[in-house]
Amino acid sequence: MSVLFEEVRLSLPHLEVAAHLYGPDDGKPVIALHGWLDNAATFSRLAPRLQGLRIVALDLPGHGHSDHRPIGAGYNIWDYAHDVLQVAEQFGWQRFSLLGHSMGAIVSVLLAGALPERVERLALIDGVIPYTGEADSAPQKLGSALEALLAVNDKRKPVYASFDQAVEARMKGVGAVSREAAELLAQRGLMPVPGGYTWRTDPRLMLPSAMRLTRAHALAFVSRVACPTSLVLAEQGLMMQPELLELVESFPFDIRRLVGGHHLHLDDDIGAEAVARVFNSFLHD
């Protein structure tokens, strides 16, 4: 599959991030955010199908070709909101829309709730709010995270003898994907090392969260979203648990259920086209 995009690096005040640029220079501004352990290639099927938009598909820090956060810094989900704002500043965008998948969708909701005046529209794919935790579990959660942080330097990332072995492993990972989708993610996400290939991702991304928002925190962010929001739910995705589905369907969002897995926008052309039909009309209304 051949798509036209521009590869860029953006020097933010705190680190450098890589991105793919799609669409005309004068298109409506959109920042696209991928899911956990993915990269900008997650939008390689969808972005070319979205018309009249200037899409900046990021490798979030710690992912793909973007810098890892400095030693001592963490990967709290709300920190990505700051990264996105800095990217918008680079392009001179006071208002912009967000296209987010999974973790990227969660970051989008957090930013739209925190600074509703900056976000014009939200286009979300199989993600809305983070995993939550209540106050009584916070001490144990922090303790586990601190112990894991102490041990992180002793862990080695897996090395795959061949590109195909890495692709097969990604197919079976969190949010299982098609072979073509795994190949697209791997082409951007792998790097050669002695003995084969390993992922570019920062090992600290695998650490448990030190703190989680409570359910009340998460719902407060949703309640502050002031822009039109379109949410695509994958029928074979990660949000079909009855309790979560009931909660999400109570949100004031336009919700569309589509056939496909968690990466339906990347797994095949049929899924990408179905998502594009939803978002093309929505992002231009």
CATH number at residue 224: 3.40.50.1820
| Residues 6 or more apart in contact with residue 236 via CB below 8 angstroms | 259, 260, 261, 262
In a domain, 138, yes or no: no
- Is residue 155 in some structural domain? no
* Domains held by the chain: number: 1
Asked if residue 121 belongs to a domain, the reply is yes
As a whole number of angstroms, the distance between CA 20 and CA 164 comes to 24
- Whether residue 202 is contained in a domain is answered as no
1 or 37, which is more confident? 37
Say if 188 falls within a structural domain: no
For residue 226, which of 122, 98, 84 has the smallest C-alpha distance? Answer: 122
Q: What is the pLDDT of residues 112-160, one digit of tens each?
A: 999 999 999 999 999 999 999 999 999 999 999 999 999 888 778 899 9
Q: Is 102 a catalytic residue?
A: yes
Q: Determine the Cα angle at 11 with ends 92 and 204, to 5°.
A: 120
Q: What is the DSSP string of 22-82?
A: ES-TTSEEEEEE--TT--GGGGTTTGGGSTTEEEEEE--TTSTTSPPPPTT----TTHHHH
Q: Which of 44, 102, 108, 230 is catalytic?
A: 102
Cβ–Cβ contacts within 10 Å for residue 226, how many?
11
User: For 8-35, how does the pLDDT look when each residue is reduced to its tens digit (9 = 90+)?
Assistant: 999 999 999 999 999 999 999 999 999 9
Q: Is the pLDDT of residue 2 over 60?
A: no
Q: Is 203 within a domain?
A: no
* Residue 278 confidence (pLDDT) above 50: yes
Q: 192 lies in a domain?
A: no
Distance in angstroms between the alpha carbons of the first and the last residue of the chain: 30
Residue 250 DSSP symbol? T
Mean per-residue pLDDT for 64-93? Answer: 96
User: pLDDT band for position 271 (50/70/90)?
Assistant: very high
Confidence of residue 3 (pLDDT cuts 50, 70, 90): low
Q: Are 50 and 117 a contacting pair, CB within 8 Å?
A: no
CA distance 90 to 106: 22
Where in 108-208 does DSSP place strands (E)? Answer: 119-125, 190-193, 196-199
Lowest mean pLDDT, pick from 76-80, 175-179, 188-192, 229-233: 175-179
What average pLDDT does range 165-193 have in this prediction? 93
**What range does the domain containing 244 cover?**
6-133+213-282
Q: Tokens in use for 238?
A: 């990660």
**Residue 265 lies inside a defined structural domain of this protein:** yes
In angstroms, the CA 93 to CA 176 distance is 35
Contact present, 224 and 129 (Cβ < 8 Å):
no
